[in-house]
């Protein structure tokens, strides 16, 4: 799921089991939206354009062609709400 927060940043929210993770909704390879990709139960998110794979827990690259991680943001679930920590200035 893609959401846009104040300031225009697009985030990809990824749910694995009962956990939710937030990564920048932009592949580090060619800036394609990661929210269009596919998410596995192993926390791996595959970009739909060229197939790079990222771990949604820390944004690390698990498979090329991407060679740079994607930004991740802290998430807190509370009373049915999803809170995402966005650093000031991003």
Give the torsion through C-alpha atoms of 48, 24, 1, 29, to 10 deg: -10
Query: Which residue in the set 4, 40, 50, 74 belongs to the binding site for ligand FES (CB under 6 A)?
Result: 50
What is the smallest separation between the CB atom of 10 and ligand FES, expressed in angstroms?
Answer: 14
Query: Which residue in the set 3, 9, 16, 65 belongs to the binding site for ligand FES (CB under 6 A)?
Result: 65
Q: Would you count residue 70 as binding ligand FES (CB under 6 A)?
A: no
From edge to edge, which strands make up the β-sheet containing 53-55?
Answer: 38-39, 44-46, 53-55, 61-63
Stretch of residues binding ligand FES (CB under 6 A), selected from 1-9, 22-30, 68-76, 81-89: 22-30
Task: Give residues in contact with ligand FES (CB under 6 A).
Answer: 27, 29-30, 32, 47, 49-52, 65-66
């Amino acid at each position: 799921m893609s959401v846009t927060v104040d300031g225009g940043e697009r985030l990809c929210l990824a749910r694995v089991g009962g956990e939710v993770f937030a990564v920048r909704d932009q592949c580090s390879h060619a800036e394609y939206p990661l929210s269009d990709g596919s998410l596995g139960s192993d926390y791996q998110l595959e970009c739909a354009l060229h197939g790079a794979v990222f771990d949604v827990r820390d944004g690390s690259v698990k498979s090329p062609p991407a060679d740079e991680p994607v930004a991740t943001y802290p998430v807190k679930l509370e009373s049915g709400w999803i809170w995402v920590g966005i650093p000031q200035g991003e």
